[in-house]
Copies of this chain bind each other. A is one copy, B any other.
C-alpha cells in the first residue's frame, strides 16, 4: 500500500484524529451549555452525531498511538476496509448534522427575529457550536479521502 497523508498508524493520521476528537467534543460542550438547544431536533441530532464522531475518532486515535508505539503497520486490507466504511458513514452523518443545525441557526438569526425576541435562546453559542462541527467535519473529510485512496490503491 502506498503512503498517503493521514494514513492510519502515522503521526499525520494521529494529529487528524485528535483534532476531530477535540473539535467535536468542543462542539458538544458549547451546544449542551446553550440554553434552549432542546427546542430544535437539529441541535439534538448535532450532539448525537458529534458524540458518535468523538467515539469513532477516539478509538482510531488510540489505535494510531498503539501502532506508533509498537511500530505496527495498520495499512492492511481488513483494517483499511473497516476504516473507510466507518469514516464515510461518520463523515456523512456529521455533515448532515452540521448543515441541518446551520439551516436552523440561519433561520433564527437572519430570516426571523426569534433571537431578538426570545432572550432565553443562546444564539451566539449555537453559531459557535455549528462552526466547530463544520471544522471537525472538515478534518474527518481529509481522513476519509486518505482512507478511500488507500483502499482503492489496495
Contacts and interface: CB of A to CB of B under 8 A. Distances in A.
Contact of A106 (B41, B149, B153): B41
B110 A41 contact: yes
Nearest to A112: B39
A65 interface: no
Contacts of A102: 100, 103
Interface residues on A, range: 20 to 34
Contacts of A92: 95
Nearest to A108: B107
A103 B41 CA distance: 8
Interface string A66-104: 000000000000000000000000001001110111111
A107 B41 contact: yes
B152 A42 contact: no
A92 B137 CA distance: 12
Nearest to A106: B41
Interface of A: 39-42, 92, 95-97, 99-104, 106-107, 110-112, 148-149, 152-153
